Structure 1
Amino acid sequence: MQTTLYRKYRPKNFEEIAGEADIIRTLKNSLDNDRMSQAYLFCGPRGIGKTTCARLIAKGINCINNGISSVPCNECENCKAIDNGSFIDLIEIDAASNRGIDEIRDLKEKINYQPSKGRKKIYIIDEVHMLTKEAFNALLKTLEEPPVHVIFILATTEPDKILPTIISRCQRYDFQILTPKESKDKLKEICEAEKVVIDDGSLELIYDISGGSMRDAISVLERVIVSCLGNEIKEEDTSRILGSTSKTLLKEFYETIKSGSMMNGVKFLDKLWEESFDIEKFFKDFARYMKDSLVNESVKVEEGLNIIGKVYDSLNKFKYEEDKRLLGYVVLNNLLKKEPRTSGNEEKAQIKEIIKEKIVYKDSKEKNSRKKEKVDVTIEDIKSMWNDIVDKAKSKKPPYGAFLITAKPTKVDNGFLYIDLGDSLFAKDQLESEYYNIPFQDIVQSMTKSKIKMKYTVAEEKNEIEASDDDTLSKVVDFFSRGED
């Protein structure tokens, strides 16, 4: 029967463990100098070597040929038994399925028996945080006064759930996730041993998916190897097999963003959609790509953070939108939308102009002197040519097709065409932006030969326009007037 790669390449000595250099050095020194603690607590994410280190300690203590050493022989009866999981003095307990007080009482009853074949009995309690409170209290008494022939090694992914009294009686080691280099080096070793050719792009994708877990990385690698059996493994193959986004594709999209071409961006997203890519996942991968680019200093900090911020702002704002293709258009628009930068003095001048406009409007309103521009077009005229208007808009900017899919012209009033967008708040948000509103308004005006303007409504919207508070306005005007003195 074929052995899985993870079991086949499980480290048989401390030198084969990827990462954790400081922890490995400390454990080796403890073994070589026969200064082992009677209780250890190994903390850290899953799949990074906690249980493997525990077994290597058992092997280092009970090796027949080399004695107590950090370099077990791997040839003697005890070493082989530990490797295949049949060593009688190595007791592994899964606390997730044996979490009650009865299991700990059973442990306490058997713990006083001397080792059968080794120097010490090693108890490995995995996921120890799953024990009940009563079981923890029972274990505490055993940890306070353990027999000299016993060593406890507790492993957990959630140390904050363990009683402080337990932690205080253990020598604690916090394992960390592997770095990309540590993971890639280990995977390359396995590929060379298996005579598999794989590129760096594939190894990077495997690392991203495994999240720094060596066990998960090896499992993912095996899946890729089986899928590409006998062939060289390239990044494109790995991306397709794992359903992730290749660095090449992400780089291509970044270049599209830099070019500032909305049409090329739309074509890029349409291609992704046709190839059944998850658009939302693509943008999350793109944000991570920009984060990595920041770390590698291949992208300026301000540019990278701006892109990441716009991606997640859009994804969070429209997280309930079911049409992911449309969501992609919204993100693309926000990425390409350029925001003018103004100095403090320019901003102050702009605010003063706005205030002046409000004052003029306020005075004209009071004198009833404001004139409304006459528009010689009716709602019937608009409805009769609505399909032609939408078709022309779509030919100018493809996203209009999505924004206007449920749109209906409802009335013409005081120079404004009111367009009902159903319950699509995101479409309203986009159509009201300068980027989309002005071109669409030009199309409508051109086809109706009028100066009509647009207003967009949704089902839950309330058309309430409140005048600015006179007192507040006067205070703001007064503030800026003082600045001119």
Structure 2
Amino acid sequence: MAYLALYRAWRPRRFAEVVGQEKTVTALRNAVREGKLSHAYLFSGPRGTGKTSIAKIIAKAVNCENLSEGEPCNQCSSCQDINNGNFMDVIEIDAASNRGIDEIRDLREKVRVLPAQGKNKVYIIDEVHMLTTEAFNALLKTIEEPPDAVIFILATTESHKIPATIRSRCQVYNFRRLTTAEITERLSDVAANDGIILEPEALLLLARRANGGMRDALSMLDQIYSYKGNNSISKQDVLEVMGLVDDAFMAQLIAAVLSQDTPSIIGILGTAFSQGKEAQQLAREASMFLRDFLLYLVAGKEADLVVAGEESQAFFEQQKSQINMQNLLRALRIMMDTADKLRFSEGQKYLLEIAFMEIATLFSEEKSAQPSFLEEKKPKKKADPRAKASSNEAQDALWNKILAAVKEKKIPTHALLVQGKLLGIKDDTVYIAYKKGYKFHKERMEERGNREILGQALKEIMGRDIESQFIFLDDDQYNDIIVKKALEFFGEELVEIKD
């Protein structure tokens, strides 16, 4: 037997197997059991949520030879023929390719013919909103008063395009998007049955990216399973096959945007392009990440996030007090507009770079409007040599204490940190500077794991939570103005500043 795609092999064959849509399933099963089915139905909702599957279950139920409690048996010849697509009295019509008045006139003539194989004829018209106005008009009378043994089931993803005259002649059922938990449970069952080992992170990523559609989730799993050639699927496999980027990567990119670090923005995007990522997909990923950020600001850890994992949530928590929600919303709109424009643009790389720099400018204006210690100016005092020497000793002592505490926790982190220079501490933030030759050390210290180790050491020494900020001292491309102002405010030997 030819291979069946997972979404076809796992298509529900009974009402009880349908995932989600509980109210719709209950109403239709009761109608079948009590013999109160309508002559016409309109199923509307997002793609992959079960509209056509339930239509076929109804078709089996009205032709089943051994119906039990409103459920088709799937064993009789009628049920098996419908499952195999060989039943003459179940007619599936794709309205996208049969949308004209001639096709509907042909349907009107054939609908009067008695069932040839079963007890009832069922017409399933998919994407019915694609019919022309003339075709809808031709269908009106037939839907209103079809022959006794005929049932019409219309399915659409765009119910607002269905004329009111058609809607009023049908029982309307609205299908909802499936929850992440519902999709996760189904994918777990499929993987267990087919011997696929799905890592928890891969499973969650698939469920989230399905956007509420079970068919999309199963299709993605099928594609990745074929690509792998073995039974084990990791999160990285999902990212590679689907052309997605890790949320940690996106957090790094947005962090560069928030800090107006243009060279890093260009470099990060260049890395993504060199790995074969598409500009439009990157714009979509950024849009979803910013959407998650926005929801996190509103609902915190209770937010229903699409792409953000634990690391990204830690990034949100760190940044939320410094972000203006209105500007974040503007940034989201810019990125969504960019994703739309990229569909028709040739210079996609440059358009995406400009969009990110535009967002960076947006947050730059936000920060410049806020009072900052970098903008404060204090009258210069004549340096006291004794105070300077004392401050040098205090700074060296504190820095050595920090280094020792970090070394006890993790030696590789100490090796990265020791190349830096303690600039000062203000408002629960430690500022550590690197020379431009130690870019690698600075970037590794900015990673979450190393930041946490430094944070633990600082808390032990200072008795409170201290955030860390890493900057370059002598690279014209990085924060040169900020460093000059910071040095002017801190002084080169100042250890801790208190207002």
Superposed, 1:61-460 pairs within 5 Å as 61-66=62-67, 69-253=69-253, 268=268, 271-272=271-272, 274-278=274-278, 281-282=281-282, 284-293=284-293, 294-295=295-296, 297-298=300-301, 299=316, 303=323, 305=325, 306-307=327-328, 309-310=330-331, 312-313=333-334, 322-323=349-350, 324=352, 328=356, 331=359, 335=363, 339-340=367-368, 439=481
> Partners in 2 of 1:111 and 1:280 — Cα distance?
46
Cα offset, 1:168, TM superposition: 0.6
* RMSD of equivalent CA atoms: 3.7
Contact 2:287/2:336 (8 A) holds in 1: no
Identity over aligned pairs, percent: 36
TM normalised by structure 1 equals 0.63
CA distance in 2 between counterparts of 1:314 and 1:218 reads: 29
Q: CA deviation at 1:330?
A: 5.8
TM-score (norm 2): 0.61
| Alignment-derived partner of residue 46 in structure 1 | 47
Give secondary structure in 1 for the equivalent of 2:198: coil
Q: Shift in Å at residue 225 of structure 1?
A: 0.8
Aligned residue identity for 2:24? I
> Residue 111 of structure 1: CA displacement?
2.2
- Using the TM superposition, name which of 297-306 and 70-79 deviates more: 297-306
SS in structure 2 of the partner of residue 136 of structure 1: helix
Unpaired runs of 5+ in structure 1? 344-394, 399-434, 443-485
User: What is the alpha-carbon distance in structure 1 between the residues aligned to residue 263 and residue 96 of structure 2?
Assistant: 54
Letter in structure 2 aligned against 1:297: G
Residue in 2 that maps onto 1:370: none
Deviations 1:73-96 (A, max 9, x none): 111111101101111221222222
CA distance in 2, matches of 1:17, 1:156: 18
Q: CA deviation at 1:172?
A: 0.7
Instruction: Please state how far the C-alpha of 1:36 moved relative to its aligned partner.
Output: 0.6
CA distance in 2, matches of 1:297, 1:48: 29
**Larger C-alpha radius of gyration, 1 or 2?**
1
Aligned to 1:480: none
Alpha carbons of structure 1 residues 38 and 439: separation in structure 2 relative to 1, 3 Å: same
The 3-state SS of whatever aligns with 2:151 is strand
Q: CA deviation at 1:60?
A: 1.3
Secondary structure, aligned partner of 2:292: helix
User: For residue 300 of structure 2, what is the amino acid of its counterpart?
Assistant: E
Distance 2:41 2:9 in 1: 27
Q: Secondary structure at the match of 2:4?
A: coil
Residue 114 of structure 1 aligns with an amino acid whose one-letter code is L
CA offsets, 1:186-208, max 9 Å, x none? 22221111111112332343345
SS of equivalent to 2:197:
coil
CA distance in 2, matches of 1:140, 1:317: 42
Shift of 1:175: 1.5
Q: Which moved more, 1:81-90 or 1:249-258?
A: 249-258
Number of corresponding residues = 352
Does the 8 A contact of 2:290 with 2:332 survive in 1? no
Confirm or deny: 8 A CA contact 2:257 2:357 kept in the other structure. no
Q: 1:65 to 1:310 in 2, by over 3 A?
A: closer
Distance 2:269 2:102 in 1: 59
How far, CA to CA, are the matches of 1:197 and 1:127 in structure 2?
36
Hey, what's the Cα distance between the residues in 1 that align with 2:123 and 2:338? 51
Deviation at 1:130, TM superposition (A): 2.4
CA distance in 2, matches of 1:277, 1:133: 42
Cα–Cα, structure 1 residues 100 and 270, in superposed 2: closer, same or farther, change >3 Å? closer
Partner residue of 2:30? 29
State whether residues 334 and 355 of structure 2, in contact with CA within 8 Å, keep that contact through their aligned partners in structure 1: no
Aligned partner letter, 1:4: A
Is the partner of 1:297 in helix, strand or coil? helix
Is the Cα–Cα contact under 8 Å of residues 178 and 212 in structure 2 kept in the other structure? yes
CA distance in 2, matches of 1:285, 1:291: 10
- 8 Å CA contact retained: 1:311, 1:335: no
Contact 1:115 1:149 in 2 (8 A): yes
What is residue 352 of structure 1 aligned with on the other side? none
CA distance in 2, matches of 1:204, 1:311: 24
